Amino acid sequence: MKGDKMGSKKRICGIIGNPLSHSLSPIMHNAAFSHLKLDLEYHLFEINENEISQTIYDLKLKSFRGLNITHPYKKVIMEYVDVLSESAKETHSVNTILNEAGKLFGYNTDSEGVVSALRNGNMDIEKGLNNVLIFGAGGAARSAAFPLSKMGNNVMIVNRTFRRAEDLAQSLSNSGNSTPIRMDELPGLKGKIDIIINATPFGMKGGPSGSFVPRDLLGPDITVFDMVYNPMRTPLTLAAEERGAKVIYGFQMFIAQGAAAFELWTNERAPLELMRKTVLRNLEKEGDHLGR
């Protein structure tokens, strides 16, 4: 099996994706496993798509406990899962697998991560009165769009490929209000948006540089949530800070989605503060500071 070294007798958890070099999931989960003295260890499986089947087969032989799935396999992994959660079905995206005696359960804990990050940022999303503008129409965008739409928030989607924004808005139409937005309509939304969410790789290490979000839209009445977590501060969050917007950082979602996965695998409460400190320490090691 491809991956990092697996010498001990501990039960395996890990992450499948490609590339994985910047993933902080192993550091975060291994810190939490050791803190609670759990008999688990977390590995990286940086593989190509044609290796997924063999990797899952090998991991099942080793009675693995859980997996995270990341870019670009959150959709394709669904065919290896026996039971999908509601949230995985509606977002067409699985980022967490739980192995119960050989039966694989697929979840989308990114949605929980989005909701938790917004709640912790004191956003009153449950009231359902917010105008939310989401940049992107991939798995991460879907993970935000479905729960927010179900809570009654007005969800607008803007995406490079407009057809995908239309498709996402269409699939949200059963749960609530949603509209696809063209790039040239963005200036007209100034002053009408409560929450902006970036669900594209803009600003991510190794991703496209800069920001997809027009600076003019940012101001003190807006909350900006950038899902990109590495680096901690992105061109978008820096611009938002400069223009007095409230900022929710991607690491907040990263920790919450990881904590939800941890709880599925272990049936223990995730040591959130330890996970947060571990992630922040490692982001800061890379030269990024929030100044708090």
Query: Which residues are identified as catalytic?
Result: 74
Query: Closest residue (Cβ) to ligand NAP?
Result: 138
Per-residue DSSP letter, 28:
H
Least distance in Å: CB of 23 to ligand NAP?
A: 11
Residues of this chain that interact with ligand NAP (CB under 6 A) are 71, 110, 113, 136-141, 159-161, 164, 199-201, 204, 207-208, 212, 227-229, 250, 253-254, 257
Least distance in Å: CB of 82 to ligand NAP?
A: 23
Say whether 242 sits in a helix, a strand or coil: helix
Least distance in Å: CB of 228 to ligand NAP?
A: 4
Q: Looking at beta carbons only, is 208 or 244 nearer to ligand NAP?
A: 208
Distance CA 233, CA 203 (A): 9
> The dihedral of CA 153, 260, 283, 291: what is its sign?
positive
Q: Looking at beta carbons only, is 53 or 161 nearer to ligand NAP?
A: 161
Distance CA 285, CA 43 (A): 21
Distance CA 190, CA 215 (A): 10
Least distance in Å: CB of 39 to ligand NAP?
A: 26
Q: Which residues are CB-neighbours of 263 under 8 A, at least 6 positions away? A: 269, 270
What is the number of other CB atoms lying within 10 angstroms of the CB of residue 75? 14
Q: Looking at beta carbons only, is 72 or 187 nearer to ligand NAP?
A: 72
Up-side HSE of residue 182: CA atoms within 13 Å toward CB? 2
State the amino acid at position 139 in one-letter form: G
Q: Looking at beta carbons only, is 85 or 200 nearer to ligand NAP?
A: 200
Least distance in Å: CB of 31 to ligand NAP?
A: 17
Distance CA 230, CA 249 (A): 10
Strand partners, 226: 198
